[in-house]
Structure 1
Amino acid sequence: MDVALLYFDDCPNWKLADQRLAAIAVECPDVVVTRRRVETVDEAERLGFHGSPSILVGGVDVFAGPGAEVGLSCRLYPTPDGLAGAPTMEQLRAKFDVAVA
């Protein structure tokens, strides 16, 4: 399964998402994670970048809701413990299970 982590350098949250994705890749050898730095607003618009970090499975942002804004900003994710800068391991696993189904 192809998973892409889109981020920009000024947002520290992508590093936590990267650590979690790396841990999942160890658990599931079929998960291949690539990283892509988004550097400009034009690039963000072209990619449909919904903020850093964005996680795409098969080219689809699996956490983007309808009307999600595009741009160079830090992204927040609703988690069971409140808003956070990255999805939880359980949320990531659930999205990957859905993508596989």
Structure 2
Amino acid sequence: MRIEILHIAGCPHTAGAGQRVHEALSDAALDGVEVAFTLVSSSADAARASFSGSPTILIDGIDAFPSGTRTAELACRVYPTPAGLSGLPTVAQIVEVLERLTHGKTQATAAP
């Protein structure tokens, strides 16, 4: 598993995204997973990537929180959370995605 955080320059949520992802990885017992940060610096970069605003959290190249909205604009992103819209998903939301993905891979591996 590889996690990539796509962000724009000056995004106030980039560091928080990294902290929450690392905390979620620890909570999900997935220590040692690589987390990379990728600066999206142009509309062309955004159009090439699976970018849905900053920060976008990709797990193995797929948006962890797909909204159906990609953008080529260097823009911020909001996430629906139990407390309302936020610039970041909660740690619990990230853990849920990680567990769903790792559970699915375990089942796919175990299938005949």
> Normalised by the size of structure 1, how large is the TM-score?
0.89
What residue ranges of structure 2 are gaps of 5+ in the alignment? Answer: 105-112
Mapped to 2, the partners of 1:41 and 1:91 lie a distance apart of 28
Would the aligned equivalents of 1:25 and 1:32 in 2 still touch at CA under 8 Å? Answer: no
2:70 paired residue number: 69
Would the aligned equivalents of 1:14 and 1:52 in 2 still touch at CA under 8 Å? Answer: yes
What's the offset of the Cα at 1:76?
A: 0.2
| Identity score, percent | 34
Mapped to 2, the partners of 1:18 and 1:53 lie a distance apart of 10
2:37 paired residue number: 35
Q: How many residues align?
A: 100
What residue ranges of structure 1 are gaps of 5+ in the alignment? Answer: none
What's the offset of the Cα at 1:44?
A: 0.2
Q: Tell me which of 34, 48, 51 is aligned to 1:49.
A: 51
Give the structure with higher Rg (CA): 2
1:79 paired residue number: 81
- CA RMSD, 1 decimal: 1.4
Letter in 1 for 2:70: E
> Normalised by the size of structure 2, how large is the TM-score?
0.81
